[in-house]
Amino acid sequence: MNDPRDILEAVRDGTISVEDAERMLRSKPYVDLGFAKVDTQRRTRQGVSEVIYGASKTPQQSVLIAKTLMENGSGCVMITRCSKEVCETAKSEGLEAEFRDEARICIIGRIPEKKRASYICVVCAGTSDIPVAEEAAVTAEVLGCNVKRSYDVGVAGIHRLLSEADTIMGASAIVVAAGMEGALPSVVGGLVSVPVIAVPTSVGYGASFEGLTALLAMMNSCASTVSVVNIDNGFGAGYIASLIDKRGDN
């Protein structure tokens, strides 16, 4: 109970004393590990498993945060943008851990079982876009979704994309990762009537400006179904797609 409104209602209902209410308002809803404040109640607030952004942490730090979360009731924790060493450190700490190489994600604990029939489709333009696509795909899997992949279906070989049309058109939400001219989300977005989350990738050279060109192209998509996340942000795209897919549970 961290929300001021919850606390006030409890005071009104006589469930807690005013003194307790005061203390609660002052208490901080996290465990302080020194190098990080671990938000042990976030899962409640946002309804999903905790995610650790591994890029700016040592393997030891990432694993210690994961352990704290598991001890506070998380069933599954994912560490993004990390190396294999993180996974090994986790195992040596007695945690159940699995490393997804292309996605650069370490999964601690058990991926929840899928109960839905629906699936997310993750599409990418070229083989160089696969790491970003996999980050999206694994993220969605960890968050409880079924995922189908259609990789290497760039617009310069439009027949490849069309041969995947059934898979793409049956999804509840679609993630499309593409670099260079970033044209793929527009073509995919024109084929479907579900949201398309476009991820510009930093694949390309020269006037691709490390993904800026793809980002701008995707922002200007002539398909009304397309919204965009940051360059190389496969995690964010997979996360949003999972929220859309989950919407079908209601």
Question: Which amino acid appears at position 161 of this protein?
Answer: L
Q: Is 102 in the site for a second copy (CB under 8 A)?
A: no
Residue 142 in tokens:
């960890």
Residue 114 in tokens:
């899928």
- For residue 92, give Cα distances in angstroms to 52, 98, 163: 19, 12, 45
Binds a second copy by CB under 8 A, chosen from 128, 146, 148, 167:
128
Q: Which residues pair with 76 in a beta bridge?
A: 109
Q: Is 239 in the site for a second copy (CB under 8 A)?
A: yes
- What residues numbered 182-211 form the site for a second copy, per CB under 8 A? 182-183, 186-187, 189-195, 197, 200, 202, 204-211
Q: What are phi and psi of 3, to 5 degrees?
A: -70, 130
Q: Is 115 in the site for a second copy (CB under 8 A)?
A: no
Binds a second copy by CB under 8 A, chosen from 78, 122, 221, 234:
221
Distance CA 134, CA 122 (A): 8
Which CB, 96 or 102, lies closer to a second copy? 102
Which CB, 91 or 191, lies closer to a second copy? 191
Binds a second copy by CB under 8 A, chosen from 54, 59, 126, 131:
126
67: left (phi over 0), alpha (psi -120 to 50) or beta: alpha
- Which listed range, 69-77, 82-90, 107-115, 219-227, lies at the site for a second copy (CB under 8 A)? 219-227
Binds a second copy by CB under 8 A, chosen from 25, 84, 92, 110:
25
Q: Is 137 in the site for a second copy (CB under 8 A)?
A: no
CA 133 to the chain's CA centroid: 11
β 146-150/119-124 pair status: parallel
Distance CA 232, CA 215 (A): 10
Binds a second copy by CB under 8 A, chosen from 86, 108, 152, 234:
152
What x/- string results for residues 53 through 92 when contact with a second copy is judged by CB under 8 A? ---x------------------------------------
Q: Is 233 in the site for a second copy (CB under 8 A)?
A: yes
Distance CA 118, CA 98 (A): 25
3-class secondary structure, 144: coil
- What residues numbered 165-184 form the site for a second copy, per CB under 8 A? 165, 172-173, 180-183
What x/- string results for residues 26 through 55 when contact with a second copy is judged by CB under 8 A? x-xxx----xxx-x--x--xxxx--x----
Residue 34 in tokens:
């020194």
Which CB, 90 or 244, lies closer to a second copy? 244
Helix (H) or strand (E) holding 164: none
Which CB, 37 or 114, lies closer to a second copy? 37
